[in-house]
Structures are given as C-alpha cells and as structure tokens.
Amino acid sequence: MQAVAAAPQPTTTLASGAESWPFTVERSTPSIGAEISDIDLRKPLDDDTYLALRRALVKYKVLFFRDQDVTPAQHVAFARRFGELEIHPVFRHHPDHPELVMFDKSGENRGRENIYHSDVSWRELPAMAAILRCVECPEVGGDTIWVNMAQAYANLPEDVKTRIADLRAVHDIIPTFSVAIAPEKFEEIRRNFPPVTHPVVRTHPESGEKILYVNEAFVTHLANYSQVTGFRIGSDFRLGELDLLQYLYRQAAAPEYQVRLKWRPNTIAVWDNRSTHHYAVQDYFPAVRRMMRATVIGDKPV
C-alpha cells in the first residue's frame, strides 16, 4: 500500500470553547451532523482548512457537503488529506483508483448495508474516517443514517457502564461478507483477516470521549464475558452474553442519537468512523443508487 505523509493533527480539543471556522457550518441535529458550505473540495486543502475540517469532524461526527462535482482523483486526494487509505479486500474498486470502493445498486444488485455498523471494525486497525460521494441516486429513498455512539454510551445506565467496562468484543469479516466472497477466495480472506478483539468501550484518541464500540454487523461474541461477569449455572453465561449484546446493539436505533441524510448527486458525507455507526436504508429497490467511498486507515482501539 502506498505510504503517505502523516496528516497534521489538530491542536485544539472539544473543550476549547467557541470555534471559528473558515467555512460555513450549519448543525443538522442537536446530537450529530453538520452541513459544511463555502468550500470547494476540488481544490487542495491548505493546512488551516484541513485542521478546521478535522476539528469539525471530531465535534459533529459526520459532515455533509453539497454540490461537490469532484473527479475520482480529486475524491482520493481529498480523502488522503486525512491519512493513508485502505484497499477493501471484497468490494469492487474503481478501475483507476483502487482506494475507491464502488457501490452500484440496482434491480440487478440489491443493497445489503441496512444494518447499524462501523466500517471495517474487523480490521486490527479499523477505519478512522470514510468519505462517501453520491454519483447517482433515486429521487426519493436510499437515505443514510448516522449514529452518535459517544452519546449512546454516555446515556447508558451506570450499572451497565460498570458491567461493560472491561469487556472485549470479537469482530469478524466472515459472517457479513461470506455471501460476497468467491469460494476460491474464502480461505485467503480467512487467513488474511482473522477475527480480532476490540474493547466494548473505546476511547476516542482526539476528543477523549468514551464510545460504545460494538456493532451487529461484525461483532460475533464477547471474548471474556464469563471471565468478567461469571455465571450462575452451566451454560447460563451464554444467554446472559447474548442478552447483553442485543441490548448494546439496540442503542444505535435510538432516533435521539441519529441524523438522516437525503442524498443528491455530488453530495459528499465524511464521517468519524471511530465514534459513529451508520445504516444505509434499503427502501429504493429496484431503483439505481451509485456511490463511491474512500476509507482512511485508523488506529488500534483502546
């Protein structure tokens, strides 16, 4: 994978008081999301604008940009400003830019992303951010929902926070992607991407927020549930583990933590993959919905 220079890191935090932005910011909901205007993503970002965008991303968790008619090369260049880009092992890539994943949904290829998830949490180093551009979409339908998982954690009852503080979850690529993996590639994918464990509660490396970091697309079980919580008799611990996981998964579905985007062509969404889940609503079949996504490699959750 091509190495890139390290992106400059922001020097202010969420606690630094009122922000001054070199672009226009309009909040989408009280809990998550902001629409950014007066910026042209076709042009290279200077350091001040990049750092401001990164601060806004950490603060609002997903940023929306309208009317950004970027080329695939410009899309990659903008995404690379945030860090090194991954190449997805399963999804179809752009022929000239392997960093760009192609989502081409229609009557011939129905979407399957209608599940709350955090991208590539099955990697040892899950994504820091993703940059998704709408190429073509239905007149209505095909919206995407993002969820503030820091707020989902903050609002958990204190006894639940205590229960999950030391738990670790197992994330696996296979259960969700097995239908898309060619049989001859299955063993290679399994060998290259074994299950990984991440903390159920991770700490955001820039904001310091605690984040509920389990998702129903990729988490298969809790690695240390019985060691941490114990059990009453026999295999009763397994039922307790499943009940707890279902309770944690359901937190993402609370509308109070969500923002919903109606796509238009040349809309770009940039989200902090560390602190959010998202859900692509599959209500548009058999209409056409075409998207391109670049994904920024992140750090090991702690």
Q: Is 278 a catalytic residue?
A: yes
**How far is residue 146's CA from residue 152's CA, in Å, rounded to a whole number?**
12
From 75, 97, 119, 289, active-site residue? 119
Active-site residue among 55, 75, 81, 117? 117
DSSP-assigned letters across all residues of the chain: ----PPPPPP---TTS-S---SSEEEESSSSS-EEEES--TTSPPPHHHHHHHHHHHHHHSEEEE-S----HHHHHHHHHTTSPBP--SSS-B-SS-TTEEEEEEBTTB-----S-B-TTTTSSS-EEEEEEEEEE--SS---EEEEEHHHHHHTS-HHHHHHHTT-EEEE-SHHHHGGGS-GGGHHHHHHHS--EEEESEEE-TTT--EEE---TTTEEEETTHHHHH--SSTTHHHHHHHHHHHHHHHGGG-GGGEEEE---TT-EEEEETTTEEEEE----TTS-EEEEEEEEE-----
Q: Residue 122 carries which side chain, given as an amino acid letter? A: W
Q: How far apart are CA 99 and CA 90, in angstroms?
A: 12
- Which of 168, 202, 278, 289 is labelled catalytic? 278
Task: Please indicate whether residue 204 is annotated as part of the active site.
Answer: no
Q: Which tokens sit at 4?
A: 């890139």
Angle at the Cα of 266 (from 263 to 269), degrees rounded to 5? 60
Residues identified as active-site? 117, 119, 278, 293
